[in-house]
Amino acid sequence: MDEGGEDRGEEHGEEHGEERVEDLPPEKKDEVKSIPALRAQLDDVQARYRHKEPELLNELNNTYDYMVKNLDPIMSEALEDLMLHRPEQVAAYLAFYMAGTVDVSKYKKTQLQPQAYFERKVQPALGLAVDSVIRDKPDDVKAYLMTFFDQRANIY
Protein backbone atom coordinates (compact mmCIF):
# COMPACT_ATOMS: atom_id res chain seq x y z
CA MET A 1 0.00 0.00 0.00
CA ASP A 2 1.16 3.51 -0.69
CA GLU A 3 0.93 6.51 1.64
CA GLY A 4 -2.68 7.14 0.60
CA GLY A 5 -3.71 3.64 1.63
CA GLU A 6 -4.07 2.27 -1.91
CA ASP A 7 -2.72 -1.10 -2.93
CA ARG A 8 -0.40 -0.64 -5.89
CA GLY A 9 0.14 -4.36 -6.41
CA GLU A 10 3.91 -4.10 -6.33
CA GLU A 11 4.36 -7.29 -4.37
CA HIS A 12 2.57 -9.18 -7.16
CA GLY A 13 4.82 -8.02 -9.99
CA GLU A 14 2.30 -5.54 -11.37
CA GLU A 15 4.66 -2.58 -11.30
CA HIS A 16 5.78 -3.44 -14.84
CA GLY A 17 2.30 -3.62 -16.33
CA GLU A 18 2.08 -7.42 -16.03
CA GLU A 19 -1.38 -8.91 -15.66
CA ARG A 20 -2.04 -11.99 -13.59
CA VAL A 21 -4.49 -14.61 -14.84
CA GLU A 22 -6.53 -14.15 -11.65
CA ASP A 23 -7.00 -10.45 -12.49
CA LEU A 24 -8.29 -11.04 -16.03
CA PRO A 25 -12.00 -10.72 -16.79
CA PRO A 26 -13.78 -14.10 -17.06
CA GLU A 27 -14.04 -13.96 -20.87
CA LYS A 28 -10.25 -13.47 -21.15
CA LYS A 29 -9.39 -16.30 -18.72
CA ASP A 30 -10.70 -18.84 -21.25
CA GLU A 31 -8.20 -17.56 -23.85
CA VAL A 32 -5.20 -18.25 -21.61
CA LYS A 33 -4.00 -21.82 -22.07
CA SER A 34 -1.78 -23.76 -19.77
CA ILE A 35 1.57 -25.09 -20.90
CA PRO A 36 0.26 -28.69 -21.05
CA ALA A 37 -2.73 -27.55 -23.15
CA LEU A 38 -0.45 -25.69 -25.56
CA ARG A 39 1.87 -28.70 -25.75
CA ALA A 40 -1.08 -30.99 -26.55
CA GLN A 41 -2.21 -28.61 -29.30
CA LEU A 42 1.31 -28.58 -30.76
CA ASP A 43 1.48 -32.39 -30.64
CA ASP A 44 -1.82 -32.60 -32.56
CA VAL A 45 -0.53 -30.29 -35.30
CA GLN A 46 2.76 -32.17 -35.57
CA ALA A 47 0.94 -35.51 -35.78
CA ARG A 48 -1.22 -34.22 -38.66
CA TYR A 49 1.87 -33.11 -40.57
CA ARG A 50 3.74 -36.35 -39.88
CA HIS A 51 0.77 -38.20 -41.33
CA LYS A 52 0.89 -36.07 -44.50
CA GLU A 53 4.69 -36.01 -44.74
CA PRO A 54 5.14 -39.09 -46.99
CA GLU A 55 2.53 -37.78 -49.42
CA LEU A 56 4.13 -34.32 -49.47
CA LEU A 57 7.62 -35.76 -49.93
CA ASN A 58 6.41 -37.93 -52.81
CA GLU A 59 4.81 -34.91 -54.48
CA LEU A 60 7.98 -32.89 -53.96
CA ASN A 61 10.14 -35.64 -55.47
CA ASN A 62 7.83 -35.97 -58.48
CA THR A 63 7.96 -32.21 -59.06
CA TYR A 64 11.74 -32.22 -58.75
CA ASP A 65 12.04 -35.10 -61.25
CA TYR A 66 9.74 -33.30 -63.69
CA MET A 67 11.81 -30.13 -63.43
CA VAL A 68 15.13 -31.91 -63.94
CA LYS A 69 13.93 -33.92 -66.94
CA ASN A 70 11.63 -31.45 -68.69
CA LEU A 71 12.22 -27.89 -67.56
CA ASP A 72 15.89 -27.45 -66.66
CA PRO A 73 17.38 -28.35 -70.07
CA ILE A 74 15.11 -25.88 -71.86
CA MET A 75 15.38 -23.06 -69.34
CA SER A 76 19.15 -23.30 -68.91
CA GLU A 77 19.71 -22.92 -72.66
CA ALA A 78 17.16 -20.10 -72.88
CA LEU A 79 18.79 -18.31 -69.96
CA GLU A 80 22.24 -18.59 -71.56
CA ASP A 81 20.88 -17.17 -74.80
CA LEU A 82 19.09 -14.34 -73.00
CA MET A 83 22.16 -13.32 -71.05
CA LEU A 84 24.31 -13.49 -74.18
CA HIS A 85 22.06 -11.28 -76.33
CA ARG A 86 20.21 -9.34 -73.57
CA PRO A 87 17.16 -8.31 -75.62
CA GLU A 88 14.95 -5.58 -74.15
CA GLN A 89 11.78 -7.53 -74.96
CA VAL A 90 12.35 -10.70 -72.96
CA ALA A 91 8.97 -12.41 -73.43
CA ALA A 92 8.75 -11.74 -77.18
CA TYR A 93 12.32 -12.98 -77.64
CA LEU A 94 11.62 -16.13 -75.63
CA ALA A 95 8.42 -16.87 -77.56
CA PHE A 96 10.43 -16.99 -80.79
CA TYR A 97 13.32 -18.76 -79.06
CA MET A 98 10.98 -21.54 -77.91
CA ALA A 99 9.61 -21.82 -81.46
CA GLY A 100 13.18 -22.10 -82.76
CA THR A 101 12.83 -19.09 -85.05
CA VAL A 102 14.47 -16.26 -83.13
CA ASP A 103 16.22 -13.59 -85.19
CA VAL A 104 18.58 -11.82 -82.81
CA SER A 105 19.02 -8.85 -85.15
CA LYS A 106 15.35 -7.85 -84.66
CA TYR A 107 15.81 -7.17 -80.95
CA LYS A 108 17.40 -4.13 -79.41
CA LYS A 109 20.06 -5.00 -76.87
CA THR A 110 19.50 -3.49 -73.45
CA GLN A 111 21.91 -0.98 -71.94
CA LEU A 112 21.47 -2.50 -68.48
CA GLN A 113 24.39 -4.24 -66.85
CA PRO A 114 24.01 -8.05 -66.77
CA GLN A 115 23.07 -8.25 -63.07
CA ALA A 116 20.50 -5.46 -63.33
CA TYR A 117 19.14 -6.94 -66.57
CA PHE A 118 18.68 -10.32 -64.93
CA GLU A 119 16.99 -8.88 -61.84
CA ARG A 120 14.68 -6.44 -63.65
CA LYS A 121 13.85 -8.19 -66.90
CA VAL A 122 14.69 -11.89 -66.85
CA GLN A 123 13.88 -13.03 -63.34
CA PRO A 124 10.24 -11.82 -63.29
CA ALA A 125 9.46 -13.41 -66.66
CA LEU A 126 11.23 -16.71 -66.05
CA GLY A 127 9.99 -16.96 -62.46
CA LEU A 128 6.39 -16.73 -63.56
CA ALA A 129 7.00 -19.15 -66.42
CA VAL A 130 8.64 -21.75 -64.17
CA ASP A 131 5.80 -21.48 -61.64
CA SER A 132 3.25 -22.00 -64.42
CA VAL A 133 5.06 -25.00 -65.88
CA ILE A 134 5.38 -26.63 -62.45
CA ARG A 135 1.70 -26.00 -61.73
CA ASP A 136 0.40 -27.26 -65.11
CA LYS A 137 3.08 -29.90 -65.89
CA PRO A 138 2.56 -29.84 -69.68
CA ASP A 139 3.79 -32.73 -71.81
CA ASP A 140 5.38 -30.39 -74.36
CA VAL A 141 7.19 -27.78 -72.27
CA LYS A 142 8.62 -25.86 -75.25
CA ALA A 143 5.20 -25.42 -76.89
CA TYR A 144 3.70 -24.43 -73.55
CA LEU A 145 6.43 -21.83 -72.96
CA MET A 146 6.15 -20.51 -76.51
CA THR A 147 2.45 -19.81 -75.93
CA PHE A 148 3.12 -18.52 -72.42
CA PHE A 149 5.70 -15.97 -73.57
CA ASP A 150 3.75 -15.04 -76.69
CA GLN A 151 0.78 -14.09 -74.50
CA ARG A 152 3.04 -11.86 -72.41
CA ALA A 153 5.10 -10.32 -75.20
CA ASN A 154 3.89 -6.81 -74.37
CA ILE A 155 4.41 -7.18 -70.62
CA TYR A 156 8.00 -8.36 -70.22
pLDDT tens for 86-143 read 999 999 999 999 999 899 999 999 999 999 999 999 999 999 999 999 999 999 999 9
| CA-CA-CA-CA torsion sign (19, 22, 28, 29) | positive
pLDDT (tens digit per residue) in 31-58: 667 788 888 888 888 888 777 788 888 8
pLDDT of residue 24: 67
> Could you write out the DSSP letters of every residue in 76-142?
HHHHHHHHHH-BS-HHHHHHHHHHT---GGGSPBP-S-HHHHIIIIIHHHHHHHHHHHHHH--S-HH
Residue 84 pLDDT more than 50? yes
Task: Let me know: does 98 contact 81? Beta carbons within 8 Å.
Answer: no
pLDDT at 73: 95
Confidence tier at 155 by pLDDT (50, 70, 90): confident
Per-residue burial over 50-65, b = 16 or more CB atoms within 10 Å of its CB, e = otherwise: eeeeeeeeeeeeeeee
> Got the DSSP string for 76-93?
HHHHHHHHHH-BS-HHHH
pLDDT of residue 20: 67
CA torsion angle 59 62 68 72 (round to 10): -50
Confidence at residue 55, expressed as pLDDT on a 0 to 100 scale:
83
pLDDT band at 19 (very low <50, low <70, confident <90, very high): low
